[in-house]
Chain A
Amino acid sequence: MYLALNDIGRGLNKLKVMKDKSRKEAIDYLINVGKAPKDPTERVDQFLDYVTIMPVDIDPQGLVGKIDHVVSTNNDRVRAEVATLIAPNNPVTLSISENLLEVASSLNIIHKIVRHYYLLGKKTNSYFTLIQLQMIMPMIIQEADALLNAIDSFKVGEPVGDGIGPVVVSRFMAGKEKRIVAKDTVMATTEYKGRTLYVLKAEGPMGYVGQPGIGIKKIVEEMGVKPSAIIMIDAALKLEGEKTGEIAEGVGAAIGGIGVEKFQIEEVATNQKVPLYAILVKQSILEAITVMRKEIAEASDKVVQVLNRVIEEKTKEGDSVVVAGIGNTLGVAQ
């Protein structure tokens, strides 16, 4: 038991250092780059302890809509609050500030939860609570380390591994007329071998993920487009042993997050009987949230080849195809 306490204690100290560093980095960024008109420290501390209460799920009917409402309220609140912390500035600085505060908030929560179980196990002399915590501690530290490393990329606006979907679709959008189809989400129309492509991604180079679910729904239901396929390109977490930058193909909605966007896309695809295809680029959690590695960036050429093949095989001339680049679009414009 002493060994377990000692081991967890060391990990907990590491988490505290990480948490404090991320908080300091966020405050420094708000002051130095965001040119905060007044000291943002107190507001940042309040922000880190802000909670989002998920809706009750004992009656699951309409639950996704409720989650969407709560999450959207939270996102709007975060952006509005961050905007008051910095001088009126460019949207990239605002989005980076949001990302940095989210990292600091995540590390704060991780530290609090680990500390809770550590102290609870110690107080109740519960060997099994402590041993379970000790067993998962390396994975927790690994995830926290990935979050801490993400700060360096976010601060300077470098594209992250998760941005591979936006990188691929940006090639189809460059120089084309863009329109907003959902919050922080842009779409352009282009052609490929007689097919009309409706290409969408989050609006870059800000660090946004956009609302591709609402975007696709709008294209299909409001703009009256009848796509023959919806193709989604996203980063996917690799399993240990898999190579970074490996490409996997599949069917289904390739999108992470809390599930709201995935639900919206699946619903519109099911209602309209549109097949959903996925192209995934494998990477680790660290690679997904830190600066894009060469292996991932260079996979973009292969992804374009796969995308072209899927379009040619699954659709015919005259068809419409929706292509969505999913992920954080920091450092990737369109």
Chain B
Amino acid sequence: MMSSVPTADKKSKLLVYTIEECPVCGQKTKRAFQVGDFVTKESVPCTKCGNPTRVSLVYAEASKISG
């Protein structure tokens, strides 16, 4: 049996997002990751209550590329 060298899954691309959470009202917003983002970083004011939000998560999601 011949071995085969695995190749990366070219059908999906990872998109990285930053989740900002308001510690007061709990509102979560999702935006594209920017260099310099890190978990617990203080971010923009909450659009609902105006308190500063914090980055609660940074994660990647697969986005399917057609074709």
Contact = CB atoms under 8 A, between A and B. Distances in A.
Interface in B1-30: 2-6, 8, 14, 16
A167 interface: yes
Given A156-B35, A167-B39, A205-B38, A331 B4 contact: no
Interface in B38-60: 38-41, 54, 56-60
A137 interface: yes
Nearest to B36: A157
Given A174-B54, A300-B57, A333 B3 contact: no
The prevalent SS among residues of A at the interface is: helix
Given A7-B3, A137-B3, A291-B16, A331 B38 contact: yes
Interface string A130-143: 00001101100110
The prevalent SS among residues of B at the interface is: loop
Contacts of A297: 57-59
Nearest to B58: A159
Nearest to B17: A294
A14 B5 contact: yes
B60 A294 contact: yes
B4 A138 contact: yes
Contact of B59 (A134, A137, A293): A293
Interface string A1-38: 00100010011001000000000000000000000000
A108 interface: no
Size bracket of the A interface: 35 or more
A158 B2 CA distance: 37
Nearest to A133: B3
Contacts of B60: 158, 290-294
Contacts of A319: none
Contact of B3 (A14, A138, A294, A300): A138
A141 B6 contact: yes
B2 A159 contact: no
A296 interface: yes
A17 B39 CA distance: 34
B59 A291 contact: yes
A332 B6 contact: no
A33 to B, nearest CB: 10
A138 B5 contact: yes
Interface of A: 3, 7, 10-11, 14, 134-135, 137-138, 141-142, 145, 149, 156-159, 166-167, 170-171, 173-174, 204-205, 290-294, 296-298, 300, 331-334
28 contacts: A14-B5, A134-B3, A137-B3, A138-B4, A145-B6, A149-B8, A157-B35, A158-B33, A159-B58, A159-B59, A167-B39, A170-B39, A204-B39, A290-B60, A291-B58, A291-B60, A292-B58, A293-B60, A293-B61, A294-B60, A294-B61, A297-B57, A297-B59, A331-B58, A332-B38, A332-B39, A333-B39, A333-B41
Given A159-B58, A291-B60, 5 more contacts: A134-B2, A137-B5, A167-B39, A174-B40, A292-B59
